[in-house]
Amino acid sequence: MNIKKIFAVAGNPILHSKSPLLFNLIFNNLENDFHYSRILSESPEEIIDLAKKLNLSGLNITSPFKESIIPYLNELDETAQKIKSVNTIKNDNGKLIGFNTDWFGCLMSLKNKGFDFNQKKCLIVGVGGAARAAIQALKRKNAQIIIVNRTLENAKKLAEEFNCKFIDISAIAQVLQESDVLISTLNYFEPEIFLNNINPNAFIVDAIYHNSKLKNSLIQQEFNHLKDKYISGEEWLYYQGIESLKHFLGIDYDNEINKMNLYSEKLFFNKNNIILSGFMGSGKTSIGKILASKLNFEFIDTDDLIETSENTSISEIFENNGEDYFRNLEFNIIKNISSKKRCVISLGGGTLTNLASANLIKKMGIRIFLYSDLDICLSRINQAKKPMMKDKSYFEIVELYNSRINNYCSNSDLILCSNSEIEKTANLIFNEYKLVVNE
């Protein structure tokens, strides 16, 4: 199954992101054959390299890359230039154009509560990309802006850049009592600092939706009176997302049901297993074994199970019975292990070309596409033992590789580059998975 367009959100960490939930629901409602995944990376350069090699139609960018991604783009729109932060990238026939839609997420979160911005006193906590976007939103509506940050010098620098006020953290109690809005873009302050001092009529806008300390503190009985004024990070996420959609597809799509789905605390994928896909030589088996050992999971290689069940090699099955026979065997093997838990499963290079297998795998666990450049893949394998590559010219192998990339992307919950050391890639996945499982 080939998908026409692929989109993703890139960051580190990233598996917690609800952006795929939002966009894939929208794509499904619009009956578009598109897919939205996640990219885990350690550098902005790698993110852009992957975006080009995977021919992604668009990207959302989250922490910690909203500012560091800028030098790798071909163009910025006017708002992104002002904010100096990018959370949306459109691939316009190879030209990567950066936008910022976080300001819209902040603006609409308050506007939908009936907030009158004009000359209202707004306290922004933080100096990063989200804080810069909030300043842009508030300045458009003639609000009074005050910045506070753990490091005073950084608050002063940002205030001077945008011609607004700043305060030392020691003065926060008095300012909170006089503020009409608190916008929190950080998650390391203890929320009681804000909640014990805030004007009870002030709105509280949270830019954080994942493990927000502010949100968790509002559950406490002593802060119940502030709940009605709290605007969660899901609101911000939703409105910046639909504004991103305008850049991606040129459409305006607002649906309250899709927004409500973002409030679900349940994981939107099965975390019982980790399922590795990718081209032959992408490191699925080597990475899978290391990962299984670190997690104390069972390791399963579907090709090994097929060879054991048939008592012959994959090459001989292809040669004697053909690919259709093999894909049917493969489906039955996957069906047999579909109820297993705590497994790292390495798929064959062509497993996801079978729609029945792909649909079954989707329900079994977190699907991770390991991308490696073709030359690196070829350096890791014995082509003579790979039936889909045996007796093929280099040109034919390139054609096979390119035909499968879109398929791997469209059947993924997470994408990462496995060009580097196997151990390093396994550690990246391990750390990411543990963050999700420990929630």
- Convert the pLDDT of each residue in 63-87 to its tens digit: 999 999 999 999 999 999 999 999 9
Residue keyed to tokens 């705590």: 342
Rounded to the nearest angstrom, the gap between the alpha carbon of residue 264 and the centroid of all alpha carbons in its chain is 17
pLDDT of residue 265: 62
Please say whether the beta carbons of 439 and 32 come within 8 A. no
**Lowest mean pLDDT segment, chosen from 32-46, 320-334, 375-389, 417-431:** 375-389
Mean pLDDT of 282-308: 97
Q: What is the Cα–Cα distance from 427 to 432, expressed in whole angstroms?
A: 8
On the question of a common fold for 104-231 and 273-437, the answer reads yes
Catalytic residues: 66
Domain 5-100+237-261 of CATH type 3.40.50.10860: yes
Task: Assess whether pLDDT exceeds 80 at residue 254.
Answer: no
- Convert the pLDDT of each residue in 205-214 to its tens digit: 999 998 888 8
Q: What is the Cα–Cα distance from 56 to 406, expressed in whole angstroms?
A: 9
pLDDT of residue 349: 95
Task: Say what the pTM is.
Answer: 0.94
Mean per-residue pLDDT of the chain: 92
- Convert the pLDDT of each residue in 3-12 to its tens digit: 689 999 999 9
Domain 273-437 of CATH type 3.40.50.300: yes
Q: Could you give the count of Cα atoms lying within 13 Å of 242 in the half-sphere of its Cβ? A: 20
Q: What is the Cα–Cα distance from 252 to 266, expressed in whole angstroms?
A: 28
Mean pLDDT of 93-101: 97
Task: Assess whether pLDDT exceeds 60 at residue 2.
Answer: no
CA torsion sign for 41, 47, 53, 57 is positive
**SS3 of residue 438 by DSSP:** coil
pLDDT of residue 50: 97
Please say whether the beta carbons of 87 and 62 come within 8 A. yes
Alpha-carbon distances of 243 from 17, 231, 236, 379, rounded to whole Å: 17, 18, 11, 43
pLDDT of residue 439: 60
Domain ranges of the chain: 5-100+237-261, 104-231, 273-437
Please say whether the beta carbons of 55 and 6 come within 8 A. yes
Q: Residues 6 or more apart from 428 whose CB is under 8 A from it?
A: 40, 42, 416
> Residue 322 is inside which H or E element, if any?
none
State the CATH class of domain 104-231. Answer: alpha beta
Please say whether the beta carbons of 232 and 215 come within 8 A. yes
Q: What is the Cα–Cα distance from 295 to 216, expressed in whole angstroms?
A: 29
* Lookup: tokens for 387: 């039936």
